[in-house]
Amino acid sequence: MKIIIVGCGKVGRTIAYQLQEENIDITLVDIEESKLNALGDDIDALAIVGNGASINTLMEAGIEDTDILIAVTNSDELNLLCCLIAQKASECHTIARVRNPIYSKEIGFIRERLGVSLFINPELAAAQEISRVLRFPSATRIDTFVRGHVELLKFKVLPEFHLDGMTISKISDHFKCDLLFCGVERGEMVAIPDGNFVIRDGDMVSIMSTPKNVAVFFKKIGLKTHQVRNAIIIGGGTIAYYLATLLTDTKIGVKIIERDPARCELLSELLPEVTLINGDGADRALLLEEGLRDAEALVTLTNIDEENIFLALSAKKISGAKLVAKVNRLAFDDVVEDLDIGSVIYPKYITADVILRYVRAMRNSYGSNVETLYNILDNKAEALEFTINEPSAATDIPLMNLQTKDNLLVGCIYRHGEVRIPRGHDMIQVGDSVIIVTTHKGLANITDILKR
C-alpha cells in the first residue's frame, strides 16, 4: 500500500510514525524543507518539498499509483484542495483534516460534492473523549465500541478498593460482575492478564463491559459513577468550544476562562449557556474566586503543554475536581503519565488511531473489517473492533479450541443487540462485532488473531 501525507506538522509526524510500523510505502510532502529533514533520520519515506495542492508536486510524489492521500496541513481549505486535485489525478482515497466548526457542520455536503473519503477533526475528537471521561469521572480514559454498547475503561487501583493481593478470578467471583480485565499497567510493566494475575494498589487497570456492568462494578468497589455537574475550562480554543457544546447538551454547567477579550466575546455569542471569564487561567486567585474549590472538573486546554500540566498539578492540591489536561508533545508522554494528574488527552494519538483504522480496513480484502481501533496500555497494545462478514478460520469454533496468539484476548462479542463477555465455549459467528485486545500490532483481519 502507498500513502502520501501532505503536511508534516505535529499531526503529520505522528501519523507517519504510526504508519511506518504498518509496513506501508510512505511519501511525505511539505512546503518547508526543514520539517522533512527533521523526519529524515526517524522515518523511512520519500520526501518531496512542494505544495501538496500542486498537480506537479503530487505527480512527483507518485499520486497516480497512490492508495490514500492524507492532507493534514494547518489550513482546512488547503487540505480540501489537496484532496480534490488528488482525486482528479488518480482514483485514490483521500483523508482531510478539517478543524473549523463551520466546515464541520457541512461535512455531508463536502463529502458528496468533493468526494473526500474521510474527515478528521482532532479537536472535536479530543472534546468527545474528554466529555466521555467527565460523564464517568472515576475513569482516566474511556474508549467506546459498537456504537457505545461496549466500553473500555482505565482506572487506578486505590487502597480503599481492597483489591490489593487479589487475583483477577477472585475479584470476578467476589463482586459477581460480568466484565473482563483487559490490561494492567504497573510502572514500566504492561500485561494482558489471565485469571491468576494478582492486582496491586497503584496499578492502572483496564476493564471492558457494558456501561451498566462497569457502573455496577465501580459502585461495589466504592468509585463514583455519576457525571460531573459543573466544569471549569481554562483556554477558549477550538477544543474548548466543542467541549462546551457537548457538556451543555448533557446539562453540565460550564465556565471558560480565556485571556483574549475578542475570543471571549466570540465564544459568548456562540455559547450563550456558558459563563465566559476574561482572565488568566494561571492566576490562582482568579481560579479560587471562580469556584475551583467546589468545581467537580477542571480541564486545561491552553496552547502550552507545561501550563496545562502545572495548572492541573496546582489544582490537585486545593480541589477534589476531576482533572483533565491536554498535551500535544508526545515526547513527554511517559513523564506526564507518572505525574498522576488524572486524564491526559493527546489529540495527535486520537487522529492517528482514526487513520490506522481506515488504513487497516482498506488493506483487508475479505472476511472482516476493522471498525474501531485504539492504542491502549501506554501505546503498547491495541483494542480493535472487527465486524465479521464471512466465515473464516476464526469463526464457528469454540474459543477454547482456537489457537490464538499469545498476549491476545477476545474481549467481547456483540450479537443481535446483546453484549457477551465470552467464555471458552463461545464462538465467533458471521454478523458479530468482536473486540480484540492484544500487544500484537497490525491486525487487519479477524484471522490475524490466530497463530500461524
Pair type for strands 189-191 and 180-186 = antiparallel
Q: Rounded mean pLDDT of the chain?
A: 91
Query: Environment class of residue 130 by beta-carbon count within 10 Å: exposed (0-12), middle (13-18) or buried (19+)?
Result: buried
The answer, yes or no, to whether residue 330 has pLDDT greater than 80, is no
Which secondary-structure segment (H or E) carries 123?
helix 122-135
Give the global pTM. Answer: 0.85
Please state which CATH class domain 2-120 belongs to. alpha beta
Amino acid at position 62, single letter? G
Q: In the CATH hierarchy, which top-level class contains the domain 230-345?
A: alpha beta
Residues in Cβ contact with 443 at an 8 Å cutoff, skipping those fewer than 6 apart: 360, 370, 382, 384, 436, 449
pLDDT tens-place string over residues 223-252: 877 889 999 999 999 999 999 999 999 999
Question: pLDDT tens digits, residue range 85-98?
Answer: 998 899 899 999 99
Given a cut of 60, whether residue 411 has pLDDT beyond it is: yes
Lowest mean pLDDT among 141-150, 171-180, 320-329, 345-354: 345-354
230-234 vs 253-258, strand pairing mode:
parallel
Q: What is the pLDDT of residues 332-347, one digit of tens each?
A: 666 776 777 889 998 8
362-449 CATH fold: Alpha-Beta Plaits (3.30.70)
Residue 172 pLDDT grade (very low, low, confident, very high; cuts 50, 70, 90)? very high
Residue 113: pLDDT band with limits 50, 70, 90: confident
Query: What's at 122, amino acid-wise?
Result: P
Contacts of 203 (CB under 8 A, 6+ apart): 156, 157, 184, 185, 186
Q: What is the mean pLDDT of residues 256-283?
A: 96
Residues of the chain with CATH 3.40.50.720: 2-120, 230-345
Band of pLDDT at residue 106, cut at 50, 70 and 90: confident
pLDDT of residue 20: 86
pLDDT band at 354 (very low <50, low <70, confident <90, very high): confident
pLDDT of residue 446: 93
Q: Is the pLDDT confidence value at 155 over 70?
A: yes
Q: Which whole-number Å values give the CA distances from 336 to 108, 158, 332, 348, 443, in the listed order?
A: 38, 20, 6, 15, 29
pLDDT score of 427 more than 80: yes
Using CA atoms, how far residue 297 sits from 257, 328, 344, in Å, is 14, 21, 13
Calpha distance 172→242 (Å, rounded): 38
Q: Locate cell 459513577: which residue?
A: 225
CATH code 3.30.70.1450 region(s) in the chain: 126-221, 362-449
Q: What is the mean pLDDT of residues 267-295?
A: 95
Alpha helices, DSSP H, located in 271-425: 284-289, 305-318, 333-338, 347-363
Q: Between 3.40.50.620, 3.30.70.140, 3.30.43.10, 3.30.70.1450, what CATH number should domain 126-221 receive?
A: 3.30.70.1450
390 closest CA partner among 436, 443, 428, 442? 428
- Please tell me the predicted confidence (pLDDT) of residue 351: 86
277-283 mean pLDDT: 94
